[in-house]
């Protein structure tokens, strides 16, 4: 990989390629000082870098001498930043846009005065903390609110037959500044001063609190997404909105490492046993396996093997060395060894970099007879639920004694000694999740609303965000999935689909072949970034809501299922996934900040067609892993949703995804195959033994989980609808009890039994009743006879 390519993807490609890419990309490695945002800008926006510089220099030279920005002291920097902030409050739109561009140039690191990318990064960080200190971000939020509510711009965009980049100029400039500020401040740098660290924590708290327009900024961005999908604002630059939404959620709620720390702390507070292992570390240490072969692959491999035997130039030593490097290939050729077809870019024939050169040590040549293979332990500690122990005891008592004891898991009288040992082993590996405790507490609150007391709700950023998006959460989920559908590579253009290319298409369409190729790369890259942002948003929200309260997670997950998220993800994977992950839809020389620091080479059609030097697109691999994890979270322990995987014939789609030799992606594919194996029939299991073996090797074991056969007591298809309905009722009761103060049960409200205080209360009568009071007295009192004897009795 070239230095330029490595710089362009430095925020996504880890030093150890076997690191979990999802954690890395979501976490964006706080130890890295290099901050780059090449995906924020489309290649069509390239000319605007010089326009931003021009606007800044005009403002700068009007108030400051001929000195450069980098030559001024802190007081002068602050004074000019205050002048620019004042310029954002002028009435004239053109003037405001000019000042906004000048601020954007500052946020971009005043690159014209820098000679290297590292210098640009330094001034980006300095200028952003300076602008935040003078209050620029609050002013930007107010301007963004004003642009969102600009009905004239929305109506003009609705009437236009074709929307281009020029229709969203104001919004794009504001979103660019806000995104760069959030991403830069999010990164922790050991060289930061104590003042900057305090500023960072304050900004993080404010970003997740309802300080901006009485709601967290993430809720405002969700509102922009729904307004765009409803067709009322087709000019919104949706890629930038989604990227800012993703980074805001990531900054305020935290990434996966923070999630792990919160999980450990909550388990300690609930006095639960510690986690059996750190899942992030386990996945980092896992190795990818060779993908299972299909029938066509086996035939083609036999043909290749026959051709290979005629080649005498390859030495046997080299073949032995190749086998030595791959721990999943045996020394002797086998008939069922995997080999990909030509459409899959021959990843078996060409060494996979994450499996060969960068991870595996150089081969040690020694005779085959001396090679000893030691069995490795399973990567995951087994888990057992309380429910599993109850089922095991129920079946054992029924079999040996003929009676049951309900939920009693302690009495083992009359059971054989091997059953005693089995129960002891099960209890040794019993795992109680935080969700089980939360469900038990919620059931207690529902059963005893008066004596249960008040619930102590921690007002963390996750709780504030859930309260903000709760009223419109179904609409938010539908909007995100609509955009994901429009951006999926398997989607076909339809007249009724939403236009997500408003912030990438230029005003004038290309006239040459080179311009058309460049725009084609830009459009494909644009869609890939949208998929990446949406998948990260959904996964982060699901994980944080599940940890905060399981019913918050279930509410979001159920609306995703109702909005057809499961078939949508399966449709996304129903493509040549190897081609998607190896796509080269990027032009690294046009990425920021390389394009503003170095002299650009002349682009040709050949160079665009060849792409960059990266063998794999980490952006697309990141998206695939996120979508698989979302699918896992939606279907885990939900038999009705597992049956959806079976009905939509997901097994062959997921099996094709195993061709990607990346350990984390393979793990979540195998998890999805495991949950539906019992429904796929004996013939499928018989013909997919290599996949079954991989499931045994890589997926966590549930000690008495009969996943490989059709003997599961919970797999009763007639209960599927009842399962979803019961879950929905529990969710509604939870939301009503905790968040809906107006819908409380009147039977549980306090009653005033004092006659004097009741009669002494002032009752406001309606105006029409007061005007017709005499008529009411005549009709309801005087004209009706009263039997006083009966009344007194």
Tokens of 149: 């509510």
**Any idea which of 127-136, 207-216, 473-482, 671-680 has the lowest mean pLDDT?**
207-216
**Any idea which of 442-446, 625-629, 719-723 has the lowest mean pLDDT?**
719-723
pLDDT band, very low/low/confident/very high, at 629 (cuts 50, 70, 90): very high
Q: How far apart are CA 19 and CA 358, in angstroms?
A: 12
Note whether 143 and 90 are within 8 A (CB).
Answer: no
Closest CA to 525 of 611, 443, 594, 458: 611
SS3 sequence, 29-87?
CCCCCCCCCHHHCCHHHCCHHHHHHHHHHHHHHHHCCCCCHHHCCHHHHHHHHHHHHHH
Note whether 445 and 456 are within 8 A (CB).
Answer: no
**Any idea which of 93-97, 276-280, 283-287, 784-788 has the lowest mean pLDDT?**
784-788
pLDDT band, very low/low/confident/very high, at 289 (cuts 50, 70, 90): confident
DSSP character for 528?
H
Polymer length in residues for the chain: 793
3-class SS of residue 501? coil
Most confident of 4-18, 250-264, 375-389, 716-730: 250-264
SS3 content of the chain, % helix, strand, coil (to 5): 60, 0, 35
| C-alpha angle 625-627-631 in degrees, rounded to nearest 5 | 115
Q: How far apart are CA 284 and CA 353, in angstroms?
A: 16
Tokens of 632: 């896992």
**Any idea which of 101-105, 217-221, 291-295, 485-489 has the lowest mean pLDDT?**
291-295
Tokens of 405: 């004891």
| C-alpha angle 636-639-640 in degrees, rounded to nearest 5 | 115
At residue 732, does pLDDT exceed 90? yes
Q: How far apart are CA 263 and CA 355, in angstroms?
A: 32
Higher pLDDT among residues 378 and 268, named by residue: 268
pLDDT digits (tens, 9 = 90+) for 437-449: 999 999 998 888 7
Q: What is the mean pLDDT of residues 264-275?
A: 93
pLDDT digits (tens, 9 = 90+) for 147-204: 998 888 888 888 888 888 888 899 999 999 999 999 999 998 888 899 999 999 999 9
Residues β-bridged to residue 702:
383
pLDDT digits (tens, 9 = 90+) for 215-244: 899 999 999 999 999 989 999 999 999 999
* Cα 725 versus chain centre, distance: 27
Q: What is the mean pLDDT of residues 643-671?
A: 94
Tokens of 642: 């597992």
What predicted TM-score, i.e. pTM, was given to this entire model? 0.82
Q: How far apart are CA 569 and CA 624, in angstroms?
A: 9
Query: What is the predicted pLDDT for the residue at 410?
Result: 84
SS3 sequence, 153-216?
HHHHHHHCCCCCHHHHHHHHHHHHHHHHHHHHHHCCCCCCCHHHHHHHHHHHHHHHCCCECCEC
Note whether 112 and 53 are within 8 A (CB).
Answer: yes
For the chain, what is the total number of helices (H) and then of strands (E)?
A: 38, 0
Query: What is the predicted pLDDT for the residue at 63?
Result: 78
- 568-to-356, 476, 572, 644, 685 alpha-carbon distances in Å: 34, 16, 6, 12, 26
Query: What is the predicted pLDDT for the residue at 476?
Result: 97
pLDDT digits (tens, 9 = 90+) for 581-626: 999 888 888 888 888 888 888 888 877 876 677 788 999 999 999 9
Query: What is the predicted pLDDT for the residue at 601?
Result: 84
Query: What is the predicted pLDDT for the residue at 376?
Result: 62
| Residue in the block written with tokens 């006659």 | 755
Residue 580 makes CB contacts below 8 A (sequence gap 6+) with 489, 617, 620, 624
Four-residue CA torsion sign, 152, 158, 159, 164: positive
Note whether 699 and 678 are within 8 A (CB).
Answer: no
Secondary structure (DSSP) of 239-307: HHHHHHHHHHHHHHH--HHHHHHHHHHHHHHTTPPPPSS-HHHHHHH--PPPPPPPHHHHHHHHHHHHH
Q: What is the mean pLDDT of residues 376-402?
A: 86
Tokens of 605: 């059609």
Residues β-bridged to residue 430:
384
Query: What is the predicted pLDDT for the residue at 775?
Result: 87
Residue 92 makes CB contacts below 8 A (sequence gap 6+) with none
Query: What is the predicted pLDDT for the residue at 36?
Result: 55
Query: What is the predicted pLDDT for the residue at 494?
Result: 64
Residue 32 makes CB contacts below 8 A (sequence gap 6+) with 10, 11, 187
Query: What is the predicted pLDDT for the residue at 493?
Result: 64
Tokens of 414: 């009359």
Chain mean pLDDT for the chain: 82
Q: How far apart are CA 739 and CA 467, in angstroms?
A: 8
Four-residue CA torsion sign, 134, 138, 140, 143: negative
Query: What is the predicted pLDDT for the residue at 250?
Result: 96
């Amino acid at each position: 990989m070239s230095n330029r390519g490595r710089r362009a993807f430095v925020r996504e490609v880890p030093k150890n390629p076997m690191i979990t890419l999802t954690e890395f990309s979501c976490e964006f490695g706080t130890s890295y000082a290099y901050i780059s945002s090449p995906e924020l800008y489309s290649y069509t926006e390239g000319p605007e870098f010089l326009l931003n510089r021009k606007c800044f220099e005009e403002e700068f030279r009007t108030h400051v001498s001929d000195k450069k920005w980098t030559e001024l002291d802190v007081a002068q920097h602050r004074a000019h930043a205050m002048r620019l902030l004042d310029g954002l409050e002028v009435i004239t739109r053109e003037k405001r846009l000019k000042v906004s561009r000048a601020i954007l140039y500052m946020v971009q690191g005043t690159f014209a005065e820098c000679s290297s990318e590292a210098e640009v990064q330094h001034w980006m960080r300095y200028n952003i903390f300076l602008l935040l200190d003078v209050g620029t971000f609050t002013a930007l939020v107010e301007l963004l609110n004003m642009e969102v509510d600009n009905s004239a711009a929305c109506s003009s965009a609705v009437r236009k037959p074709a929307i281009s980049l020029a229709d969203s100029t104001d919004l794009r400039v504001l979103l660019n500044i806000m995104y760069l500020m959030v991403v830069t401040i999010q990164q922790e740098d050991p060289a930061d001063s104590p003042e900057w660290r305090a500023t960072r924590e304050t900004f993080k708290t404010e970003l997740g609190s309802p300080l901006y327009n009485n709601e967290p900024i993430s809720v405002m961005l969700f509102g922009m997404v729904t307004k765009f999908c409803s067709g009322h604002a087709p000019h919104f630059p949706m890629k930038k909105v989604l990227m800012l939404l993703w980074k805001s959620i990531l900054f305020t709620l935290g990434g996966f490492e923070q999630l792990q720390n919160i999980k450990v702390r909550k388990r300690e507070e609930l006095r639960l046993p510690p986690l059996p292992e750190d899942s992030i570390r386990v996945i980092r240490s896992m190795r990818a396996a060779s993908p299972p072969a299909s029938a066509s692959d086996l035939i083609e491999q036999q043909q290749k093997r026959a051709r290979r035997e005629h080649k005498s130039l390859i030495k046997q030593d080299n073949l032995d060395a190749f086998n030595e490097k791959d721990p999943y290939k045996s020394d002797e050729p086998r008939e069922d060894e995997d080999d990909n077809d030509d459409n899959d870019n021959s990843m078996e024939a060409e060494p996979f970099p994450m499996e060969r050169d960068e991870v595996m040590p150089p081969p040690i040549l020694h005779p085959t007879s001396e090679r000893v293979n030691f069995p490795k332990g399973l990567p995951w500690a087994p888990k057992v639920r309380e429910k599993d122990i109850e089922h095991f005891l129920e079946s054992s008592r029924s079999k040996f004694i003929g009676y049951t004891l309900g939920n009693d898991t302690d009495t083992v009288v009359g059971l054989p000694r091997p059953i005693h040992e089995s129960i002891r082993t099960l209890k040794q590996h019993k795992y109680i999740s935080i969700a089980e405790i939360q469900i038990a507490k919620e059931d207690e609150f529902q059963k005893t609303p008066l004596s249960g007391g008040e619930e102590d709700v921690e007002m963390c950023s996750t709780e504030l965000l859930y309260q903000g998006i709760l009223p419109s959460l179904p609409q938010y989920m539908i909007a995100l999935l609509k955009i994901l559908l429009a951006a999926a590579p398997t989607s076909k253009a339809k007249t009724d689909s939403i236009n997500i290319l408003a912030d990438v298409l230029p005003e004038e369409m290309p006239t040459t072949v080179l311009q058309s190729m460049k725009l084609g790369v830009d459009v494909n890259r644009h869609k890939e970034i949208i998929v990446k942002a949406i998948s990260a948003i959904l996964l982060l929200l699901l994980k944080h809501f599940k940890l905060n309260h399981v019913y918050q997670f279930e509410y979001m997950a159920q609306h995703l299922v109702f909005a057809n998220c499961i078939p949508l993800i399966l449709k996304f994977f129903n493509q040549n996934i190897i081609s998607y992950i190896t796509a080269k839809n990027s032009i690294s020389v046009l990425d920021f900040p390389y394009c503003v620091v170095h002299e650009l080479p002349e682009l040709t059609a050949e160079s665009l067609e060849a792409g960059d030097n990266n063998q794999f697109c980490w952006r697309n691999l990141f998206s695939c892993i996120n979508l698989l994890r979302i699918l896992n979270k939606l279907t885990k322990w939900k038999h009705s949703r597992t049956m959806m995987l079976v009905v939509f014939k997901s097994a062959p789609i997921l099996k094709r995804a195993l061709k990607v030799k990346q350990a984390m992606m393979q793990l979540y594919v195998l998890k999805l195959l495991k949950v539906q194996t019992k429904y796929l029939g004996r013939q499928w299991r018989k013909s997919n033994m290599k996949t079954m073996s991989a499931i045994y090797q890589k997926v966590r074991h549930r000690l008495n989980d009969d996943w490989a056969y059709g003997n599961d007591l919970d797999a009763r298809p007639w209960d599927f609808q009842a399962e979803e309905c019961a879950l929905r009722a529990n969710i509604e009761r939870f939301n009503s009890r905790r968040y809906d103060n107006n819908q409380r049960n009147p039977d549980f409200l306090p009653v005033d039994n004092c006659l004097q205080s009741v009669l002494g209360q002032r009752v406001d009568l309606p105006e029409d009743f007061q005007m017709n009071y005499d008529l009411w007295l005549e009709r309801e009192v005087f004209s009706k006879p009263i039997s006083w004897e009966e009344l007194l009795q």
